[in-house]
Structure 1
Amino acid sequence: MAEILPLRAWRYNPSLDRQIEQLTAPLFDVVSEKQREALYRNPFNSIHLTVPLGDEPAKQAAATLQDWKDAGVLLQDHLPGIYVYYQYFRLPGSDKEYVRKGFICHIKAYDWKEGVLLRHENTIPSAVNDRIALLEQTEMNTSPTHGLYSDAAFLLEPYMDESILSPLYETEDYQGARDVLAVIHDHEVIRLFVKTLQEKQVLLADGHHRYEGSLEYRKKRMTQNPDHTGFEPYNYHLMYLTNSEHDDLRILPTHRVLKHMELSDEEFLRRLEAYFIITPKEDPLELNEVIVGKQWAFGLFLSGNAFKIRLKPEVHPQIDWNFPKEVKDLDLTVMHYFIFEKVLGIYRTAQRDYSGLSYVRNFTSCIRQVDSGEARLALITNEITMEQVKRVCYSGAIMPQKSTFFYPKVIGGFLFSSIKEDEFITAAAACL
C-alpha cells in the first residue's frame, strides 16, 4: 500500500559534524520561547529553517537555505539511502533504557480518503498554513513526521541494528534522549524496505500539521500541472517510520490548561457536578497519580484548589457528537464534550482554534501556571494507549487535537529532504 523511496539527504558539512548538538533543534510545535532565543543565536542552527524569523518567515527560510547551499554549510549526499534513526531514552521513575528504532525515507503524500495513511488527530488550521508556506518557498522538508507501520515479524530490524553500529551522528538532545543516525546504501536492503512497506498501512503518529501541509501543497501542484503523473517530487513527504509492535513505543499524556473563563469557580463546579463526581484533594502534585488506570477520570486544579473528577457513567450516552464508539470512549472525548462544550460552552468547532486553551505535556508546568496566576485551571489526563490509537485510526475517525504525545519527539537538523526536480531521487534513479 505505502510507497516509500530512499533519498539523497541534505546534511551539514562534515566540518560541522562535531557541533551537531548545537545545530539540532526541537520540532516547531514543541520548541519553547526560551529554547528559541538560545537556538537563534547560532547562525547555522536548523531552527532558522524550521521556525524562521522575520515578517515573511517562509521567504526568510528560503533565503537562508540558499545561502547555506551556496556557502557549503549544507551538502547533498551523493548516494540515495534509507536513514536509520534510533532514540535511546529513560522515563521518570524507571531505570530501564528504552530504544525506539526507526528509519527516515520519502513516502507518497496520500490523501486521507485513499486509506493508505491514517490520521488520529485534528489539526489547527493556522499551523497547517505556516507549513504550506514554508514548503512552497523552500521546496524542502525540514523535519520528518512520525509514522507507524505494523510488522510482527520484525523483518527490517536486523538491518537497522547492523547499520546503527556505524553512526553518522550521535548526540544527546534537549529531552535527554540519545539520538543516533546511520544510513543504509545497499540496494538490495533498500528494496526490502520498499517491498515491506508496500504491504502496509501507515498510522500518522506525530506531525499532522506538517503532513497536511505536504498534502495541500501536492494538491496545489497537481492542479497547476496538466501532465501530472503522480511521480513528481512534490508528491512525496519526509517521514520517520517505526514499527508499532515494539514494546519501546511510548505515548505520554497531553494536559489542557485554560487561561481564562467567564464563569466563577463556584458556578464552574456547580455545572460540573451535573456530569462528574467531584472529590477534593489536598495535594495538587498528586493529581496525576490519583487518576492512573481510571477511565474518564481527570485531575482538576482550579485557582489553587485540587480535585479529582470522574464522569458519572450514566451520562456518557449523552455524547451526541457523530463519532464511532472507539472515539466516544476516549478520556479526551469525554473531557472536550462535557467540560469544554457542555460546562464552558466552547463548542467542538471552536475548540480547535480557541486562543485561551493550551496543550501542555509537563504536569508540573500545568500546576505552576495555575499557581502563578498565568492560567485559571488545568485539566490533567491519562495517556492514550497504542491500542486506542490503532482502534481509532482503523475506525476512520479522529481524536480531539493534541491527544497523543509520542515520546521522545524526533529532533530537527540531522537531515533535510529536497523536493526540487534536480535534487530528488526517483525509484528509477535509485535503481529500484
Structure 2
Amino acid sequence: MAEILPLKAWRYSELLDNNIDELTSPLFDVVSAKQREALYRNNFNSIHLSVPRGDSPAEEAAILLQEWKANGVLAQDPLPGIYVYYQYFRLPGSDKEYCRKGFICNIKAYDWHERVLLRHENTIPSAVNDRIELLERTELNTSPTHGLYTDSAFILEPFMDESIKSPLYETEDYQGVRDVLAVIHDHAVIELFLKTLEDKQVLLADGHHRYEGSLEYRKKMTALNPEHTGYEAYNYHLMYLTNSEHDDLRILPTHRVLQHMDISDEEFLNKLEPYFVITPKEDPFELNEVILGKKWAFGLYLSGNAYKLRLKPEVHDQIYWKFPEEVKDLDLTVMHYFVFEQVLGIQREAQRNMAGLTYERNFTACIRKVDTGEARLALITNEVSMEQVKRVCYSGAIMPQKSTFFYPKVICGFLFSSIKEDEFITAPAACL
C-alpha cells in the first residue's frame, strides 16, 4: 500500500556540520518563543527555514534557502539513501535508557480516503495554512513527520542497527535526547525497505499539520498539471517511520490550559457535578498521580485549588457525538464533550480554534500558569495508549486535536528534502 522512496537529502556542508548541535532546532509546533529568539541569533540555524520570521516569512525562507544553496551552506547528497534515525532517551522516574528506532524517507502524500495513511487526531486550520504557504514558497520539507508501520517480524531493524554504527551525526538536543543519524546506500537493502512498506498502512503519529500541508499542496499541483502522472515530486512528503511493535515507543499526555472563562469558579464546579465525582486535593503537584491509570479521570487546577474529577459511568452514554465507540471511550473525548461542550457551552467544531485554549505537555508548567494568573484553570489528563491510537485509526475516526504527544520529538536540521523536480527522485525504478 505505502509507496516510499529514498532521498538525496540536502544537508549542511562539511564546513558547518561539525557544529551540528548549533544548527538543529525543535519542530515548529513545540519551539517556545524564548527558544526561537536564541536560535535566530545563529544565522545558519535551521529555524530560519522551518519557522521563518519577518513580514513575509515564507518568502524570506525561500530567498534564504536559495542563498544557502548557492553559497554552499547546504549541499545535496550525491546518492539516494534511507536515513536511519535513532533517539536515545530516559523518562522521569526511570533508570532505563530507551531507544526509538526508525528511518527517514519520502512517502506519497496519500489522501485520507485512500486508507493508506491513517490519521488519529484533528488539526487546527490556521497551522495547516501556515505550512502550505511555506511549502509552496520553498518547495522544501524542512522536517520529517512521524509515521508508524506494523512489522512484528522486525525485518528492517538488523539493517538499521548495522547502519547506526557509522553515524553521520550524533548530538544531544533540547529535550536531553541523544539523536543519531546514519544513511543506507546499498541498493539491495533499500529495495527491502521499499518492499517491506508496500503492503503496509501507516499511522500518522505526529505532524498532522505538516502532512496536511503536503496533501493540500499535492491536490493543488495536481489540478494545475494536465499531464499529472503521480510520480512528480510534489506528490511526496518527508516522513520518519518507526515500528509500532517496538517496546520503546512512548506517548506522553497533553494537558489543556484555559486562560479565561465567563463564569465563576463556584458556578463552574456546580455545572460539573451532574457529570463528575469531584474530590478536592490539597497538593496540586499530585494531580497527575491521583488520576494515573484511572479511566475518565482528570486533574483540575482552578484558581489555585486542586480537584480530582472522575466521570460518573452512568452519564457516559449521554455523549451524542457521532463517533465510534473507540473514540467515545477516550479520556479526551470525555473531557471535550462534558467539560468544554456541556459545561462551558463550546461546540465541538468551535473547540478547534477556541481562543485562550492552549495545549501543554509539561505538568508543572500547567500549575505554574494558573499560579501566576496566566491561566484560569488547567485540566490534567493521562496519556493515550498505542493500542487506543491503533483502534481509532483503524476505525476511520479521529481523536480530539492534540490528543497524543509521541516522545521524543524529532528534530529539525539533520536533513532537508527538496520537492523541486530537478532535485528529486521521481520513480522507484530510478532508485535501484
TM normalised by structure 2 equals 0.99
1:116 corresponds in structure 2 to 116
2:231 corresponds in structure 1 to 231
Pairs within 5 Å for 1:15-34: 15-34=15-34
Report the alpha carbon displacement of residue 22 of structure 1 after superposing the two structures with TM.
0.5
1:264 corresponds in structure 2 to 264
Report the alpha carbon displacement of residue 428 of structure 1 after superposing the two structures with TM.
4.9
State the SS of the aligned residue for 2:239.
Answer: strand
In structure 2, how many angstroms separate the alpha carbons of the residues matched to 1:431 and 1:249?
30
1:49 corresponds in structure 2 to 49
Report the alpha carbon displacement of residue 426 of structure 1 after superposing the two structures with TM.
2.5
In structure 1, how many angstroms separate the alpha carbons of the residues matched to 2:63 and 2:114?
35
Shift of the 35–148 alpha-carbon distance from structure 1 to 2, 3 Å rule, reads same
Shift of the 409–384 alpha-carbon distance from structure 1 to 2, 3 Å rule, reads same
CA-to-aligned-CA distance 1:47-66 (integer Å, 9 cap, x gap): 00000001111001101101
State the SS of the aligned residue for 1:29.
Answer: coil
- Taking only aligned residues, the RMSD between alpha carbons, in angstroms, comes to 0.6
State the SS of the aligned residue for 2:162.
Answer: helix
Report the alpha carbon displacement of residue 15 of structure 1 after superposing the two structures with TM.
1.1
In structure 1, how many angstroms separate the alpha carbons of the residues matched to 2:278 and 2:332?
18
Report the alpha carbon displacement of residue 81 of structure 1 after superposing the two structures with TM.
0.1
In structure 2, how many angstroms separate the alpha carbons of the residues matched to 1:92 and 1:241?
25
Shift of the 281–431 alpha-carbon distance from structure 1 to 2, 3 Å rule, reads closer
In structure 1, how many angstroms separate the alpha carbons of the residues matched to 2:121 and 2:427?
31
Report the alpha carbon displacement of residue 430 of structure 1 after superposing the two structures with TM.
3.4
2:191 corresponds in structure 1 to 191
Matched-pair contact (CA < 8 Å) for 1:88–1:99? yes
1:245 corresponds in structure 2 to 245
2:140 corresponds in structure 1 to 140
In structure 2, how many angstroms separate the alpha carbons of the residues matched to 1:163 and 1:281?
51
2:371 corresponds in structure 1 to 371
Report the alpha carbon displacement of residue 99 of structure 1 after superposing the two structures with TM.
0.1
Gaps of 5+ in 1: none
Pairs within 5 Å for 1:133-172: 133-172=133-172
2:95 corresponds in structure 1 to 95
In structure 2, how many angstroms separate the alpha carbons of the residues matched to 1:353 and 1:74?
37
The runs of 4+ residues in structure 1 deviating greater than 4 Å are: none
Report the alpha carbon displacement of residue 344 of structure 1 after superposing the two structures with TM.
0.5
Matched-pair contact (CA < 8 Å) for 1:276–1:311? yes
CA-to-aligned-CA distance 1:232-252 (integer Å, 9 cap, x gap): 000000000000000000000
State the SS of the aligned residue for 2:266.
Answer: helix
State the SS of the aligned residue for 2:159.
Answer: helix
In structure 1, how many angstroms separate the alpha carbons of the residues matched to 2:285 and 2:265?
20
In structure 1, how many angstroms separate the alpha carbons of the residues matched to 2:116 and 2:185?
26
In structure 1, how many angstroms separate the alpha carbons of the residues matched to 2:229 and 2:120?
29
Is 1:425 aligned with 2:425?
yes
In structure 1, how many angstroms separate the alpha carbons of the residues matched to 2:311 and 2:302?
18
Report the residue type matching 1:49 in the other structure.
Answer: L
2:179 corresponds in structure 1 to 179
State the SS of the aligned residue for 2:190.
Answer: helix
Matched-pair contact (CA < 8 Å) for 2:425–2:431? no
Percent identical pairs in the alignment equals 81
Report the alpha carbon displacement of residue 222 of structure 1 after superposing the two structures with TM.
0.3
Report the residue type matching 2:62 in the other structure.
Answer: A
Matched-pair contact (CA < 8 Å) for 1:324–1:397? yes
1:66 corresponds in structure 2 to 66
CA-to-aligned-CA distance 1:80-126 (integer Å, 9 cap, x gap): 00000000000000000000000000000000000000000100000
1:317 corresponds in structure 2 to 317
TM normalised by structure 1 equals 0.99
Report the alpha carbon displacement of residue 431 of structure 1 after superposing the two structures with TM.
3.8
